[in-house]
Amino acid sequence: MGGNAALGNSIMAPEQYAACVDISGGIGLTPHTMTLKDELNSGLFKDFPLYLSTFGPADTLEGSRHDLAVFAKRNLEHGKKIPEYHIICGSKEFIRERVERDVRTLQEIGYHINYICAEGYDHNFDLWDEYLRITMEELLPLKRKPVYPVGSLG
């Protein structure tokens, strides 16, 4: 669940990141507070006690440290520099609707999101391998040169 963690961390501490790439991150944190509340109430994760103990009861979610919408809005209100956002989901993924809801929610708050719906891909390594390559080659603002000049470290 690294994509979802990347999204959550970059919203909670945007000054720490130049960019965020969330690939298939539709489980766990979400800027659409009602989605997480509904999931907690639905019993969807009844077999995952860690999930429930992490977020607590659904009725305590709004305004808590797990409410990404509060962080996202506060970041803009306080003029924080917002990272570049690239959210990627396969067109056949079971989490596609949730991911697209996250994209819409962040856009409504005022974030610019580069959303990529990877046509024909499912929630598997075919998608992740291809889009990790694309991320490293095209999406991230990497300098693509050595940090230290060759020979400078002795």
pLDDT tens for residues 9-39?
999 999 999 999 999 998 888 999 999 888 8
DSSP-assigned letter for residue 82: P
- Residues 18 and 141: beta-carbon distance below 8 Å: yes
Q: Is the pLDDT of residue 44 over 80?
A: no
pTM: predicted TM-score of the whole model, two decimal places: 0.86
CA distance 145 to 81: 25
Domains of the chain, CATH where assigned? 2-139 (3.40.50.1820)
Q: Which parts of the chain are beta strand (E)? A: 19-23, 84-90, 113-118
Q: Which of 146, 127, 149 is nearest to 3 (CA)?
A: 127
